[in-house]
Amino acid sequence: MPEVAEPGDAARIAVIGKPNVGKSSLVNRLLREERMLVDASPGTTRDSIDSSFRYEGHDFVLVDTAGLKRKRSITGAVELYSVVRAVRSVERANVVFVVFDASVPFSAQDARIAALAHKSDKASVVVFNKWDLVEKDSMTAVELEKSMKERVPFLHYAPVVFVSALTGQRVSKLPGLALQVLGESRKRVPDEQLLDVLRRATEKRKPPVTSSGHTPFIKRARQTSVEPQVFTLTVSEAKAFRKAYILYMIRCLREAFGFHGAPVRLRLRAEKGKRGR
């Protein structure tokens, strides 16, 4: 089995989501519930609050991308500003909690904010808050998760949790999930196992034959980065592996190694020559 790396220094968790989804309530509940608050100090930006806490021997800094109160008449500006703020805190984070309001329909702005976590290659947890307001018989967790994944397909790899900052339901699961996705994002995979998984993937489903009539193949594969997970494949012809095929290989890597909650990237580079092990 691949070795799971332990997080070293304090891991930063950015809590993002559009205004009013309950980010601040969630942060407050988490710190209160777990009685793990060590220190709360104004963040580097005037409008964010960094809170340090310790969970199962690991240090975290929780960053609430908190709200500036502005007049309703300039809603557009508030929305824009909330995205700018979220971008900044996501860049500095190790883990992102992407918070949605489970009691209202999923919106385009939800999707835009969620895209930040994916674009920045951060380990992510999807948090549906205000679960206490949801009529459980009309809208189940499964349906909500499904509609979110249709709108935000790139977050399909993230664990999803349904919580209530109001009642505290399942809020205590959050630190463990943060630790889990961070571990997945830092997991190391031995070269031979990696090549083995990829070769089996190409045997099961052959990459399309190139215009010159060759079946492209993988010569070497290495994990060239963790957090984010990046794999560099040396292949016979880089262009021969199309996007759909690259997504297929990523799916095979996830099946073999997990990487639950962690983004995975493949880099392909070509090297001419004969096949050889």
Which positions lie near ligand GDP, rule CB under 6 A?
17, 19-25, 67, 129-130, 132-133, 164-166
| Parallel/antiparallel/unpaired status of strands 229-235 and 218-225 | antiparallel
Pick one of Mg ion, ligand GDP, none as the site partner of residue 12 (Cβ within 5 to 8 A by kind).
none
Minimal distance, residue 23 CB to Mg ion, in Å: 5
Torsion of CA 122, 125, 126, 129, to 10 degrees: -130
- Between the alpha carbon of residue 132 and those of residues 126, 149, 164, the distances in Å are 17, 22, 6
User: Closest approach of Cβ 32 to ligand GDP, in Å?
Assistant: 13
Please state, in angstroms and rounded to a whole number, the distance separating the CA atoms of residues 264 and 118: 10
Cβ 79 to ligand GDP, closest distance in Å?
Answer: 12
User: Residue 269 Cβ, how far from Mg ion at the closest point, in Å?
Assistant: 44
Task: Provide the residue type at 250 as one letter.
Answer: I
Distance CA 226, CA 211 (A): 35
Residue 49 or 197 having the CB closest to ligand GDP: 49
* Closest distance to Mg ion from the beta carbon of 179 (Å): 24
Candidate residues 5, 24, 34, 154; the one interacting with Mg ion per rule CB under 5 A: 24
What is the full DSSP assignment across 182-239?
A: HHHHT-B--HHHHHHHHHHHHHHSPPPPPTTSPPP-EEEEEEEETTTEEEEEEES-GG
Considering only CA atoms, which of 249, 260, 126 is closest in space to residue 184?
260
Q: 66-105 mask for Mg ion (x: CB under 5 A)?
A: xx--------------------------------------
- Give the nearer residue to ligand GDP in terms of CB position, either 20 or 224: 20
Stretch that binds Mg ion, among 62-70, 179-187, 211-219, 262-270 (CB under 5 A): 62-70
Sheet arrangement for strand 218-225: 218-225, 229-235, 264-270
Q: Considering only 21-29, 40-48, 146-154, 217-225, which stretch makes contact with Mg ion by CB under 5 A?
A: 21-29
Contacting Mg ion within 117-146 (CB under 5 A):
none
- Closer residue to Mg ion in complex, CB, 24/215: 24
Q: How far is the CB of 174 from Mg ion (least distance, A)?
A: 16
Residue 86 in tokens: 């979220």
Return the range that interacts with Mg ion (CB under 5 A); candidates 52-60, 64-72, 102-110, 268-276. Answer: 64-72
Burial class (CB in 10 A: 0-12, 13-18, 19+), 143: exposed
Least separation in angstroms between CB 19 and Mg ion: 7
> What's the first-to-final CA gap in the chain, in angstroms?
23
Stretch that binds Mg ion, among 63-71, 93-101, 113-121, 137-145 (CB under 5 A): 63-71
Residue nearest to Mg ion (CB): 24
Task: Give dist(CA 77, CA 85) in Å, integer.
Answer: 12
Query: Among residues 20 and 41, whose Cβ is nearest to ligand GDP?
Result: 20
The residue count for the chain: 277
23 vs 122, beta carbon nearer Mg ion: 23
